[in-house]
Structure 1
Amino acid sequence: MSKFSIRWPVALKRDRHRSRRWLILAIVLMVTMTTGFIVWPMSPPILDLRHPRSADIVSLMNHWRQGDLVVLIRHGERCDRSSHECLGLADGITRLGSEESQQLGRSFAQWGLESTDIMHSPITRTVQTARFMFDTRSVSQQWLADCGKTMRDDVLSHKQARHNLILVTHSGCISDFEKQIGFKHAAMSEYDSSLFVQVMPDGKLNVLGTANLPDWPAIPSVGLNP
């Protein structure tokens, strides 16, 4: 009997053991990645606002009445990154962006803005967006342009009890905020998107989700009265 025929079963067992080990490692890695995604998703959930009686709308209405919401809104479509007609200055928004921002503002107006504080970044595109959304209700705030590592704390420091807080800001600022509340790999926010966050009595944050422009059509017909 040759040495090859003697060594063959040993080599075969070694290969099988190695393959089994790699298979187990692959399964463990897959389970870890899947579990991690389920426990901590990449981005805040997209809210279902298309149906007047959806669970998301009911939840938002309840929080809005209680005045415990912070809403971070990205400005309208940028003029310098679009082929659409500019509204005016090159660092502002497009005419389409102004129309979409105005539409979103009407949606919020349907909810009632009496107990809502509204602030915007002093950069041209956010100034224009806030004006088309909320007319002169919004107040310019430099920290909404600076953002960075203090974004979460700055948001909380401007939130008053029983008052909702709307912040018209930038995608980078929203990303800073998301990273600081656990969504380190969230997708970049869309133009005129709204990130809804509940501020609980103990100061902890509960991320309710994001609504993009196409998710809003059902909202204007929903009133705050039960």
Structure 2
Amino acid sequence: MLSSDTLTPLVMPTRRTWQRLPRITLALGLALLLTAASALLWASTRTTIVNLGNERHLNASGLLQQWAEGAVIVMIRHAERCDSAPGPCLDDATGITVAGSQAASRVGEGLQHLGLAGADLLSSPKLRTRQTAHFIVGDTVTSEDWLEGCNAHFTEQALAHKRSGHNLVLITHDGCVDHFQRSLSVAPGQRDSAYASALFVSVDGNGKARILGRMNEPDWQRVLATRQR
């Protein structure tokens, strides 16, 4: 039998302890509410990339009207790289694959449907971007170094090259498109650009940019077929 000396005395909560419990609970509740509010505020400042391959999203984006007004910049990542794909190369190993050239041609058909009259077209000087540009427009496109640099000034350089009333088509790299999206507060998980994907951005009269959405290469044919019915 245990003696009374070996028993641990039961400590009853004092009145002061009972008074402190609601305060702790309240503090925890307020902390959770502040955390949730901060998360919602952060989310509300992020730019969401809309999938323009969805007909409803395309119509709601305003892209067609903005394009008709010459108020759009479209940034197109080069087509599939030869040095990182199993398919046959178009020719040079630093360029794109045969499949990439076909994908670029399909993107070009989509842009031609939107209308390229009066548009300014520029390409990075890298072979893979120049080849992509050639298959998109069927001709040689002027190359500029800043479309290869992909540095923190890419957004301001892109906006500086946008002429009023003229759409601007830029064939560039994933890193450049990423910099542009960063500057417009796109969340990291939405900044990935597939080969030959096109990011559409509207630019208002004050030079303020707004992302309209992204069109991935496989979606062009389906969207065009739907709109031509």
TM-based fold match above 0.5 = yes
Alignment of 1:69 onto 2:75: no
Q: TM-score, normalised by structure 2?
A: 0.83
- State the shift of 1:156 in Å: 1.5
1:118 equivalent to 2:124? Answer no
Query: Secondary structure of the residue that 1:47 maps to in structure 2?
Result: coil
Provide the secondary structure at the position in 1 that maps to 2:211.
strand
User: 1:75, 1:170 within 8 Å by CA — same for their partners in 2?
Assistant: yes
Runs of 5+ unmatched residues, structure 1: none
Query: Per-residue CA shift, 1:123-149, capped at 9, x if unaligned?
Result: 111111111111215211111001212
- 2:50 equivalent to 1:45: yes
Q: Offset of 1:50 from its aligned partner?
A: 3.6
Does residue 26 in structure 1 map to residue 32 in structure 2?
yes
CA distance in 1, matches of 2:11, 2:116: 85
User: What does residue 6 of structure 1 align with?
Assistant: 12
Structure 1 106/180 Cα, relative in aligned 2: closer, same or farther at 3 Å?
A: same
Q: How does 1:63-212 map to 2 (within 5 A)?
A: 63-136=66-139, 138-183=141-186, 185=188, 186-212=190-216
Rounded to whole Å, the distance in 2 between the matches of 1:204 and 1:42 is 14
CA distance in 2, matches of 1:23, 1:67: 52
CA distance in 1: counterparts of 2:172 and 2:184, whole angstroms: 17
In the TM superposition, what is the alpha-carbon distance from 1:49 to its structure 2 partner? 4.2
Query: Letter of the aligned partner of 1:5 in structure 2?
Result: V
Alignment size in residue pairs: 219
Structure 1: how far apart are the matches of 2:48 and 2:59? 21
Q: Secondary structure at the match of 1:148?
A: coil
CA distance in 1, matches of 2:180, 2:57: 29
User: TM-score w.r.t. structure 1 length?
Assistant: 0.84
Could you tell me which of 47, 56, 60 is aligned with 1:55?
60
User: Which amino acid is 1:103 matched to?
Assistant: R
The percentage of aligned residue pairs carrying the same residue is: 30
**Match of 2:205, SS?**
coil
